[in-house]
C-alpha cells in the first residue's frame, strides 16, 4: 500500500486503535495459557500492564510526526512490560510497526541501533531474569524477528524511492513533451501567419497600385486577399484545435495539399513531383509542407513577381523538397515583414527530423531552398522497376 493512496489514509488513523485492542485482548489470551506453565514465571496482568500495552498503540499514533520518539517510547514500554513478567507475545506487535515506520521515514540508523539494543536487552532478560534460561534457539528467533522486520522495511523503502523517482522522471518527461508541443504549436502558428499575412500584404500593395488604372486586375488581387484571409483563419483554427482533446479537425498542412498552396500563393508556381507519391509520417509530411510554404512566403516578401519552381522527389529513403525562383521580380531585400527567422526555422524543422536544409542564391540568379528529410524504413518503399 503506497502512502498518499485513499485506502492508506483511511487505515492510518485507525491503526493505533486496532493495535491497542489487539495487544490487550491477545495478551489476555496469551496470559491464560502462560500462567498455567509455572516454569515461565509469568504474573497476571494489572492496570499497569494494560497501560504499558496501550503505550505502544499511543506511540503509533504519533509515529508520523515523531518517528524516533515513537520508536524509543514503544521499545522502552515493551522492555518495562517484560521486566514485570507479564505474558508476552502480542506486545511485540507495536515494535514491529514503529521500527518499520522509522526506516521508511528515513531514520534508518535509529531503527537499526534501537533494534540492536532491544535485542541485547531481550537476550539479557531471557538469560538472567527468568526462572529458566532461554536457549540459543530463542535468541536466534528474536534476532530473526528483528532482522526480518528491518529487511522488509528496507526493501519497501527502496521500492518506494524507486517509484517516487519514476514518477518524478515521468513528470519531467511530461513537462518536456508539453514544452516541445508548445514550441511546435508556436512554430505552426508562425508559419501559418507569416505566409498568409505576407501574401495579403503583397496582394494589397498590388491592388492599391492597380486600383485606379487597372481595376480589373485589382479585383484579382482582392480575390486573392479574400481567399488568403479565409485560409489563415481555417489553418489557425486547425492548429488551435490541437489544444483541445478530441476536437474535430481536418489537417491542411501536408504534402497532399501542395497544389492548393501553390495555387493560392499569388506567384507563378510550377509544381513538379518525381517518384511515387505515398503516405508519409505526419512529422515529415507537415515539415515538407511548411518548408514549401515558408519558401513561397520568402519569395513573396523579397522577390514578388518571380517565377517559382517547386520540386518534390519521393525517394526510397528520403523526401527531397526544393523551391527555386528565377529572381525576375523585385530585388531581394535584406529586411522584410516581421523577423528574419524563416530560413533558421526551416533548418530547425529539417534538423529535428534528422535531415538537412540548404538555402542560398542560385548561380544563374534567383534563390534556392532545398531540404532532405529522411524517411523511416516502413515509409521508404522501393520504387518498382
> From first to last of its 385 residues, what are the pLDDT tens digits of the chain?
555 454 444 446 788 888 999 999 999 998 888 888 877 778 888 999 999 999 988 999 888 889 999 999 999 999 999 999 898 888 999 999 999 999 999 999 999 999 999 999 999 988 888 877 888 888 899 999 999 999 999 999 999 999 999 999 998 988 887 777 777 777 767 676 766 676 677 667 777 777 777 777 677 777 777 777 777 777 677 666 665 554 444 445 788 888 888 887 778 899 999 988 888 998 899 889 989 988 888 888 788 778 899 999 999 899 999 999 987 765 444 334 444 567 888 888 899 899 999 998 988 788 999 999 998 876 544 444 4
Residue 189 Cα distances to 63, 85, 200, 216, angstroms:
55, 81, 16, 33
* Contact indicator for 238, 196 with CB cutoff of 8 Å: no
Give the pLDDT score at 366: 87
State the helix-helix crossing angle for 108-128 and 67-83, rounded to 10 degrees.
0
Residue 305 has phi, psi (to 5 degrees) of 95, -10
* Contact indicator for 41, 133 with CB cutoff of 8 Å: no
Give the pLDDT score at 219: 72
The residue behind cell 505576407 is 198
Rounded Cα gap, residues 254 and 27, in angstroms = 77
What's this model's pTM, rounded to 2 decimal places?
Answer: 0.53
C-alpha grid cell, residue 360: 542560398
* Contact indicator for 146, 98 with CB cutoff of 8 Å: no
Strand partners, 360: 368
CA 228 distance to own-chain centroid: 38
CA 274 distance to own-chain centroid: 41
Q: Could you tell me which of 336, 274, 275 has the C-alpha nearest to residue 300?
A: 336
CB atoms inside a 10 Å sphere around CB 145: 16
State the helix-helix crossing angle for 136-210 and 215-241, rounded to 10 degrees.
170
Give the pLDDT score at 336: 42
Total residues belonging to the chain: 385
Q: Could you tell me which of 147, 131, 36 has the C-alpha nearest to residue 96?
A: 147
Amino acid at each position: 500500500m503506497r502512502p498518499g493512496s485513499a485506502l492508506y489514509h483511511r487505515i492510518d488513523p485507525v491503526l493505533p486503535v486496532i493495535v491497542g485492542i489487539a495487544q490487550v485482548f491477545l495478551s489476555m489470551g496469551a496470559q491464560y495459557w502462560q500462567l498455567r506453565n509455572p516454569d515461565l514465571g509469568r504474573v497476571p496482568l494489572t492496570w499497569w500492564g494494560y497501560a504499558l500495552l496501550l503505550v505502544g498503540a499511543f506511540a503509533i499514533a504519533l509515529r508520523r510526526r515523531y518517528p524516533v520518539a515513537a520508536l524509543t517510547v514503544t521499545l522502552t514500554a515493551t522492555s518495562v512490560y517484560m521486566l514485570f513478567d507479564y505474558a508476552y507475545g502480542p506486545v511485540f506487535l507495536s515494535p514491529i510497526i514503529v521500527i518499520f515506520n522509522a526506516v521508511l521515514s528515513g531514520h534508518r540508523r535509529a531503527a537499526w541501533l534501537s533494534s540492536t539494543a532491544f535485542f541485547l536487552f531481550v537476550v539479557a532478560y531471557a538469560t538472567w531474569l527468568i526462572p529458566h534460561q532461554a536457549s540459543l534457539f530463542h535468541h536466534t528467533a528474536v534476532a530473526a524477528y528483528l532482522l526480518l522486520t528491518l529487511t522488509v522495511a528496507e526493501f519497501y523503502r527502496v521500492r518506494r524511492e524507486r517509484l517516487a523517482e519514476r514518477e518524478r522522471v515521468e513528470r519531467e518527461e511530461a513537462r518536456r513533451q508539453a514544452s516541445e508541443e508548445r514550441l511546435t504549436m508556436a512554430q505552426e502558428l508562425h508559419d501559418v501567419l507569416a505566409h498568409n499575412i505576407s501574401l495579403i500584404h503583397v496582394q494589397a500593395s498590388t491592388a492599391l497600385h492597380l486600383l485606379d488604372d487597372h481595376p480589373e486586375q485589382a479585383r484579382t488581387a482582392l480575390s486573392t486577399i479574400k481567399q488568403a484571409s479565409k485560409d489563415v483563419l481555417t489553418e489557425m483554427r486547425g492548429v488551435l484545435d490541437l489544444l483541445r482533446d478530441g476536437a474535430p479537425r481536418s489537417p491542411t498542412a501536408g504534402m497532399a495539399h501542395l497544389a492548393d498552396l501553390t495555387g493560392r500563393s499569388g506567384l507563378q508556381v510550377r509544381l513538379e513531383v518525381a517518384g511515387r507519391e505515398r503516405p508519409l509520417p505526419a512529422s515529415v509530411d507537415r515539415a515538407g509542407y511548411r518548408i514549401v510554404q515558408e519558401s513561397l512566403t520568402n519569395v513573396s516578401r523579397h522577390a514578388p513577381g518571380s517565377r517559382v519552381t517547386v520540386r518534390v522527389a519521393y525517394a526510397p529513403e528520403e523526401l527531397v523538397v526544393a523551391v527555386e525562383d528565377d529572381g525576375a521580380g523585385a530585388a531581394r531585400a535584406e529586411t522584410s515583414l516581421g523577423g528574419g527567422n524563416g530560413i533558421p526555422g526551416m533548418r530547425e524543422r529539417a534538423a529535428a527530423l534528422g535531415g538537412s536544409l540548404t538555402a542560398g542564391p542560385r548561380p544563374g540568379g534567383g534563390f534556392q531552398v532545398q531540404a532532405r528529410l529522411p524517411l523511416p524504413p516502413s515509409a521508404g518503399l522501393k520504387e518498382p522497376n
